[in-house]
Amino acid sequence: MICRVTVTDTRSLIDRLITLFDIPYVDFEGKERARIERIAILPGCGDVAAMMREAEASGADAYVTGEIYCHIDNEYGCTKYATVMAYAAETSMPLIGVSHAASEYLMMKTQVKPWLEERFSVNVTLLPQSRWWW
């Protein structure tokens, strides 16, 4: 999804994401930008250089996802990581990871919990992780 946002810069966007997702930091690669108007958003695992490239070609000024790095410790993971790092060196976009779990938790908190409570008349207790990054 690519959405238009109030004009911001990379540092301000990161600060807003840290607050929104209630995380201590973000992963960051790519370039900082002084003007961001369109953000590509991909919850969960967004560590695919082809998706990043497609977002940029579609007009995104920044790429926000759960994960910008592949955390699989084998040949597959190392290859994906290298591909993303090569793209990060050439892109003009900031690539921002907010934690895979945190990116999905926000949806659970804002959409799924209210829907379950309304639809099934149950009380739902969310269990946020004490450490989003593992």
Cα separation, 103 vs 122, in Å, equals 24
Q: What are phi and psi of 95, to 5 degrees?
A: -110, 115
Instruction: Say whether 71 counts as a known binding-site residue.
Output: no
85 phi, psi to nearest 5 deg? -65, -35
Known binding residue 104? Answer is yes
- Residue at token pair 């973000």: 26
Known binding-site positions = 100, 104
Known binding-site positions for a divalent metal cation = 100, 104
